[in-house]
Amino acid sequence: MKFEVLVTKEQLEAKTAELGKRITEDYKGKELVLVGVLKGGFIFLADLARKIDMEVMIDFISVSSYGNSTQSSGVVKILKDIDMDITGKHVLIVEDLIDTGLTLQYLKELFNTKGCASVKLAAIMDKPDRRKVDLKVDYVGIEIPDEFVVGYGLDYAGKYRNLPEVYVIRET
């Protein structure tokens, strides 16, 4: 297997800083809870949280979508729910990548039933060509082509999440 860099560390850093600045401006004076989507969202959440210049609370939800490892089925299973009471709070769901959009659509609908003041979505990467549902993602990072990628939180068979850049895997 060969790994080709698709998104560099510098691009990830610059985009995260830009999104953090926008989020700080948009949520000033509000009670914001960042909800990281495990496992993939943990790296972006950690970087993004440090670019938000205000008080935030942080929680995590762990989901898995049924189906094989490279195709999302749209049926999402909650493996670990959030711990915090988010009633009346502004929730920003933080995800690694939007592919079909089914996971974030499901999570947005779920959080909309929990009595939050608002529910918005953030993702550091986006594969717009793969979208199956019409979903508004409020803070989108970098658009990438329809390729399977790893690194910066994203895995293949549980590995490569710790790679600091985003790579396309080519079979050799």
User: Is 148 among the residues that bind ligand IMP (CB under 6 A)?
Assistant: yes
Complex with Mg ion: residue 86 or 94, whichever CB lies closer: 94
Q: Which two tokens stand for residue 90?
A: 């502004």
Q: Segment near ligand IMP (CB under 6 A), from 18-26, 46-54, 89-97, 110-118?
A: 89-97
Instruction: Choose, by CB under 6 A, the member of 19, 35, 92, 98 that binds ligand IMP.
Output: 98
User: Is 163 among the residues that bind ligand IMP (CB under 6 A)?
Assistant: no
Reported in sequence order, the residue ranges of 29-117 that DSSP labels E, i.e. its strands, are: 32-38, 56-65, 76-80, 90-98
Q: Following CA atoms 148, 152, 155, 158 in sequence, which dihedral angle do they give, to the nearest 10 degrees?
A: 170
| Nearest partner of 118 among 44, 31, 50, 48, judged by Cα | 31
DSSP lists the bridge partners of residue 142 as 125
User: Is 7 among the residues that bind ligand IMP (CB under 6 A)?
Assistant: no
Give the H/E segment covering residue 125: strand 118-126
Q: How far is the CB of 9 from ligand IMP (least distance, A)?
A: 18
Instruction: Choose, by CB under 6 A, the member of 43, 99, 107, 139 that binds ligand IMP.
Output: 99
- Our answer to whether residue 96 is catalytic in this structure is no
User: Is 40 among the residues that bind ligand IMP (CB under 6 A)?
Assistant: yes
